[in-house]
Amino acid sequence: MTSKAEELGARPPITVLDGGTGRELLRAGAPFRQPEWSALTLLEAPEFVTRVHRSYVEAGADVITTNSYALVPFHIGGERFASDGARLAALAGRLAREVADEAPAKVRVAGSLPPICGSYRADWFDATFARPILEVLVAGLSPSIDHWQAETLSTIAEAELVRAVLGDDRRPLWLSFTLNDAGAIPGLPRLRSGEPVGEAVSAAIGLGAAAVLFNCSQPEVMADAIDRAREVLGGARRFGSGGIAIGVYANAFAPQTSTAAANSGLSEIRADLDPAGYLGWVRDWIGRDATIVGGCCGIGPEHIRALRAALSST
């Protein structure tokens, strides 16, 4: 497939993200249990977070993401968040910043802003409840990050709240939406809320996003989302000054429904999404004009290493 950018000879450089953190912590032997998930390591053994960040830098990532996804009352409890949330967010930011600063090549730090009320559950979102929690995360991460990365957004309202909380912060905002991948209709990509991807991309433009991404969904549903985003953004015109980039970082799960329990257990990983299998999908996304690529849950340093090697050989 020939992309619009290639037709115009305007292919921008590809930015390589890191992959998932939680399973890498588990694989490294870090403290890891329900319901705290990856937040438990910050509480009990933060050196493992540093180790995982370094593994992605060594694999060739241009961006590492703060381990702040589970730093919400949904995972660590309301009392613990009230007492430790600000400190843990600052620690997550600092650990990523230290690894980025020691890297031999420039590595950027993405400040992960998670869905406050539960992953995949647009029906649980409550802006009044979520706002003060998000404000704590933003304040804690702010000294350490290069751009904000609101992740796994199931509904446009979550993106709107992030923008409101960030206020006049001038650092780039990347908005990453999670897609309906259980019974998805080909050619009609939608968020887990049911909102059309085109509406989400239009909202991202209005919110001043520097990039619109799709994450934590199966690879099979990403192509339609990229194509729709490209249509809304005007194709290769977005590569000009101030344009909006498109990014993808899929997970390696089986399809997750819109009513899936957001903290019920570790999902099974697909055997076909080994580094070679995942790279095949990434090549397709780049061919469709994605310029930011990486991995989400179940995608590890070995996948990012294969991705970087393939990019370096072209």
Residue 251 has pLDDT above 70, yes or no: yes
Query: Residue 198: pLDDT band by 50, 70, 90 thresholds?
Result: very high
Q: Nearest to residue 63, comparing CAs of 22, 97, 91, 27?
A: 97
4-312 CATH fold? TIM Barrel (3.20.20)
Query: In terms of pTM, does the model score above 0.85?
Result: yes
Q: What kind and span of H or E run contains 264?
A: none
Residue 46 has pLDDT above 50, yes or no: yes
Peptide bond into 35 cis (omega under 30): yes
CA–CA separation, 75 vs 156, rounded Å?
23
If you count them, how many residues does the chain have? 314
CA–CA separation, 223 vs 163, rounded Å?
26
CA–CA separation, 109 vs 295, rounded Å?
15
pLDDT tens figures, 47-57: 999 999 999 99
Residue 302 corresponds to which tokens in the numbers above?
A: 């070995």
pLDDT tens figures, 218-248: 999 999 999 999 999 985 444 443 589 999 9
Query: Residue 34: pLDDT band by 50, 70, 90 thresholds?
Result: confident
> What percent of the chain has a predicted confidence (pLDDT) above 70?
90
Amino acid at position 80, single letter: R
CA–CA separation, 314 vs 304, rounded Å?
16
Residue 265 has pLDDT above 90, yes or no: no
Residue found by looking up tokens 């001043």 in the block: 208
Residue 272 corresponds to which tokens in the numbers above?
A: 């076909």
From the number of C-beta atoms within 10 Å of its C-beta (0-12, 13-18, 19+), residue 13 rates as exposed
Look at the alpha carbons of 69, 71, 76, 78 in this order and tell me if their dihedral is positive or negative.
negative
Residue 206 has pLDDT above 70, yes or no: yes
Residue found by looking up tokens 């890297």 in the block: 103
CA–CA separation, 289 vs 214, rounded Å?
13
Q: Which of 159-163, 229-233, 256-260 has the lowest mean pLDDT?
A: 256-260
C-alpha torsion 194→200→119→249, nearest 10: 120
CA–CA separation, 50 vs 92, rounded Å?
9
> What percent of the chain has a predicted confidence (pLDDT) above 90?
85
| pLDDT of amino acid 260 | 57
Identify whether the C-beta of residue 100 lies closer than 8 Å to the C-beta of residue 64.
Answer: yes
Residue 94 has pLDDT above 90, yes or no: yes
| pLDDT of amino acid 313 | 86
Residue found by looking up tokens 């890191």 in the block: 18
| pLDDT of amino acid 261 | 52
| pLDDT of amino acid 263 | 52
Strands 211-215 and 108-113: unpaired
Query: Residue 253: pLDDT band by 50, 70, 90 thresholds?
Result: confident
| pLDDT of amino acid 9 | 40
Decide: helix, strand or coil at residue 232: helix
Residue 186 corresponds to which tokens in the numbers above?
A: 């080909």
**What separation in angstroms does the CA of 210 have from each of 10, 84, 103, 301?**
18, 31, 25, 26
Average of per-residue pLDDT across 5-34: 83
CA–CA separation, 239 vs 247, rounded Å?
13
C-alpha torsion 189→268→294→227, nearest 10: -10
pLDDT tens figures, 54-88: 999 999 999 999 999 999 999 999 999 999 999 99
| pLDDT of amino acid 240 | 40
From the number of C-beta atoms within 10 Å of its C-beta (0-12, 13-18, 19+), residue 15 rates as middle
Residue 279 has pLDDT above 90, yes or no: yes
Average of per-residue pLDDT across 99-105: 96
- Mean pLDDT value across the chain: 92
Residue found by looking up tokens 């397709």 in the block: 284
